[in-house]
Chain A
Amino acid sequence: MTLPCRAQPWRQGEGITVPKGILPGPGNMLPPTSNGSRAHGSAAPRIVISPSTGGSPKPTSATTVQPEQVSPSRPRNDTEVLRWTGEGRLSPPEACHYFQALDQDAGDGHSLKSMAGVEASLAELDALVGLGEIKALVRELQAYVEIQRRRREQGLAAEALALHMVFKGNPGTGKTTVARILGTVFREAGVLAKGHLLEVERADLVGEYIGHTAQKTRELLKKASGGILFIDEAYALARGGARDFGKEAIDTLVKAMEDQRENLILVLAGYKDEMEWFLQQNPGLRSRFPVQMEFSDYSADELFTIGLQMFEERQYRVSHDGQRQLYRLICRIAGRPNRGNARAVRNAVEYAIRRQALRLIEGGYALTREHLMLIESGDVEGFLLP
């Protein structure tokens, strides 16, 4: 059998440069059958192409080389590996080798991309004031997640990730903020599909009649699936005693924790002492929450930095006297036993902004950009602590 009929006067001699476009390109490639029979058929004269057109990575059994088919030295995807094997450009062991290489590339590509995302989220965490221990713990968790993923890739035994957490700390110590950042960290690391934060409290979980609670809780769990379910003041669930519906909510949550452990992280948050009490009420709970984070109160200096950051975020600037006034106020906030921490500072900041607005309106003079941005000491004064 000869090649499919074409006018090919140049086939008379050997070593002739083949005019481009006459030989079959990728679009009109010869069916492999004709290729193979050419190898055996003596009738078909050999076509030799000058080396400048590029050499095949692996010469086929036929000496014919098709120029457009060549160029890339290694296959870029599965289909190409298989096609090249079929065309006789790769031997089966080479194909196997390329499969492995492709897998590795894909793995590296994924981890590089996700590493960048994780780092961005961690940078956001690092930008928070204080929280030294929390930051260290989050890094630890992230490293753990990453290594378990790599182990799984290599076919090693990897632990099922149990990342449910208890956050202990007073209000305004950054529990929600940290939980939100954790959501994005775990999303980028590939642990959670969505990484969103659903913030709920007792009233959202507990129903009014028998059976209502499980239903309500399950609905919330469904909404939180793929992200973090953050239960604020979780101890309230156990407060009502054994006959309270809160217990039913806890049971439903515990079951969901086991069933959806791959795609849901549960965070119980609340005051330190109350959370301790809560974990004692349900012996099974403590072991199910391997990660416990303690959020300590902010110092006055930290709160002051947070306050200035809050003004800055809102595009305000605090005058020198204003800063002194703010610091005095924050010392009062930090000195109280039932301190509001960052939340109280935020209230103070918002109060000052309202006061400044009133001052500017009542002043009745032409307002420059500078005026609109400046917070003075009078604006900060007079904030009543909660």
Chain B
Amino acid sequence: MSEPRQALIIGQPNVGKTLFMLQFAAYCGLQQALLSVAEPQATKGSAAGVPLAWSQARRQLVSSMPNETRRLQSLDFQLPRRKLQKKISLWDSTGLTDSIHQIPQVRLAMAQTLQALRRAHIVLHLLDAHRIGDEGETAIGTIDRQIAVYAPLRGAYAICANKMDLPGARRGLRHIRRTFSGQKIFPISALQSTGFRGVQAFVWQQL
């Protein structure tokens, strides 16, 4: 059996990457969260954690504080479509900032994210449509633009405009569409699991 293809979730801190991973895996039919974890400084690849129920996983992993995730964590599951299934490994990563972070652990975790970006087959780039709607295009970081240039050169790439359930997200989506014209853009809400169908179909095509 070959290695499953890696889909990497990437984006600025606090755009909802971890929540998206958990919700998307649940949407695809995964029963519980059995996370594989790769610590930035670990010598070995990854260690499997304890299986968690979804609510538990959400409580433990998701937070409204930026840079809560400081390691690569992944879920392996079967992506269903009609009667077929394909194996996939969905990776959640540390949020990337435009500037150099002052905490060394976070910097190391970001380096780890970048390393994953270098290897991923599929890149799902999350943007916070709500914040971009509020603050305008300044909320789209240099890092976002850089990823949008770099990632498509290496493999499959799509943008997920997250937090579509919040006010002002539509305006944010318009900004995103204008800035990243030519890229695949899916408006989603990780919290409410909406818009996942398009993402699923896109990921399926790349497997």
A residues near B (Cβ < 8 Å) are 32-33, 35-36, 39-40, 58, 60-61, 78, 81-83, 85-93, 95-97, 99-100, 103, 154-155
- Which residue of the partner chain, among B114, B147, B154, contacts A85 with CB atoms under 8 Å? B114
Asked if residues B100 and A60 are in contact (CB atoms below 8 Å), the reply is: yes
Interface residues on B, range: 20 to 34
- Which residue of the partner chain, among A39, A82, A100, A155, contacts B111 with CB atoms under 8 Å? A82
* Residue B110, interface by CB 8 Å: yes
Asked if residues B115 and A58 are in contact (CB atoms below 8 Å), the reply is: no
Of residues 139 to 161 in B, which have CB atoms within 8 Å of A's CB atoms? 141-143, 145-147, 149-150, 152-154
Pick from A33, A35, A40, A88 the residue with the most CB of B within 10 Å. A88
- Which residue of the partner chain, among A60, A78, A93, contacts B141 with CB atoms under 8 Å? A93
Separation in Å of the B183 CB from the closest CB of chain A? 12
* Residue B5, interface by CB 8 Å: no
- Which residue of the partner chain, among A61, A78, A96, contacts B100 with CB atoms under 8 Å? A61
How far is B101's CA from A39's CA once the two chains are assembled, in angstroms?
12
Pick from A33, A36, A81, A91 the residue with the most CB of B within 10 Å. A91
- Which residue of the partner chain, among A36, A58, A82, A96, contacts B102 with CB atoms under 8 Å? A36
How far is B103's CA from A60's CA once the two chains are assembled, in angstroms?
11
Q: Which residues of A contact B142 (CB under 8 A)?
A: 93
Of residues 69 to 119 in B, which have CB atoms within 8 Å of A's CB atoms? 96-105, 107-108, 110-115, 117-118
Asked if residues A95 and B114 are in contact (CB atoms below 8 Å), the reply is: yes
The chain B residue with its CB closest to the CB of A82 is B111
Pick from B96, B104, B111, B118 the residue with the most CB of A within 10 Å. B104
Separation in Å of the B127 CB from the closest CB of chain A? 15
Asked if residues A82 and B114 are in contact (CB atoms below 8 Å), the reply is: yes
Q: Which residues of B contact A58 (CB under 8 A)?
A: 100
How far is B152's CA from A39's CA once the two chains are assembled, in angstroms?
37
Q: Which residues of B contact A90 (CB under 8 A)?
A: 100
Asked if residues A78 and B118 are in contact (CB atoms below 8 Å), the reply is: yes
Asked if residues A32 and B107 are in contact (CB atoms below 8 Å), the reply is: yes
Q: Which residues of A contact B152 (CB under 8 A)?
A: 155
SS of A interface (majority): helix
Pick from B101, B103, B114 the residue with the most CB of A within 10 Å. B114
The chain A residue with its CB closest to the CB of B106 is A36
How far is B113's CA from A55's CA once the two chains are assembled, in angstroms?
27
Q: Which residues of A contact B118 (CB under 8 A)?
A: 78, 99
How far is B106's CA from A87's CA once the two chains are assembled, in angstroms?
10
The chain A residue with its CB closest to the CB of B143 is A93
Asked if residues A32 and B97 are in contact (CB atoms below 8 Å), the reply is: no
How far is B149's CA from A100's CA once the two chains are assembled, in angstroms?
9
How far is B141's CA from A90's CA once the two chains are assembled, in angstroms?
16
Asked if residues B114 and A100 are in contact (CB atoms below 8 Å), the reply is: no
Q: Assess A99 versus B150: contact at CB under 8 Å? Given A39-B102, A58-B100.
A: yes
Asked if residues B104 and A96 are in contact (CB atoms below 8 Å), the reply is: no
Q: Which residues of A contact B40 (CB under 8 A)?
A: 86
Q: Which residues of B contact A93 (CB under 8 A)?
A: 96, 98, 141-143, 145-146
B residues near A (Cβ < 8 Å) are 40, 96-105, 107-108, 110-115, 117-118, 141-143, 145-147, 149-150, 152-154
Q: Which residues of A contact B115 (CB under 8 A)?
A: 78, 82
Asked if residues B107 and A86 are in contact (CB atoms below 8 Å), the reply is: yes
The chain B residue with its CB closest to the CB of A96 is B146
A32-B107, A33-B105, A36-B102 known; 7 new pairs, CB 8 Å cut-off, are: A35-B104, A39-B102, A78-B118, A88-B102, A92-B97, A96-B143, A96-B146
Asked if residues B114 and A33 are in contact (CB atoms below 8 Å), the reply is: no
How far is B117's CA from A35's CA once the two chains are assembled, in angstroms?
26
Pick from B98, B110, B111, B143 the residue with the most CB of A within 10 Å. B111
Q: Which residues of A contact B149 (CB under 8 A)?
A: 96, 100
Asked if residues A103 and B153 are in contact (CB atoms below 8 Å), the reply is: yes
Q: Which residues of B contact A86 (CB under 8 A)?
A: 40, 104, 107-108, 110-111
How far is B100's CA from A36's CA once the two chains are assembled, in angstroms?
12
Separation in Å of the B157 CB from the closest CB of chain A? 9
Q: What are 24 A-to-B residue pairs whose CB atoms are below 8 Å? A: A35-B104, A36-B104, A36-B107, A61-B100, A78-B115, A82-B115, A83-B111, A85-B107, A86-B111, A87-B107, A91-B98, A91-B100, A91-B143, A92-B143, A93-B145, A93-B146, A95-B114, A96-B117, A97-B150, A99-B117, A100-B149, A100-B150, A103-B154, A155-B152
Q: Which residues of A contact B112 (CB under 8 A)?
A: 82
Q: Assess A92 versus B104: contact at CB under 8 Å? Given A97-B146, A99-B118, A155-B153.
A: no
Q: Assess A61 versus B102: contact at CB under 8 Å? Given A96-B143, A100-B150.
A: yes
- Which residue of the partner chain, among A88, A97, A155, contacts B107 with CB atoms under 8 Å? A88
Q: Which residues of B contact A103 (CB under 8 A)?
A: 153-154
Pick from A58, A60, A95 the residue with the most CB of B within 10 Å. A95
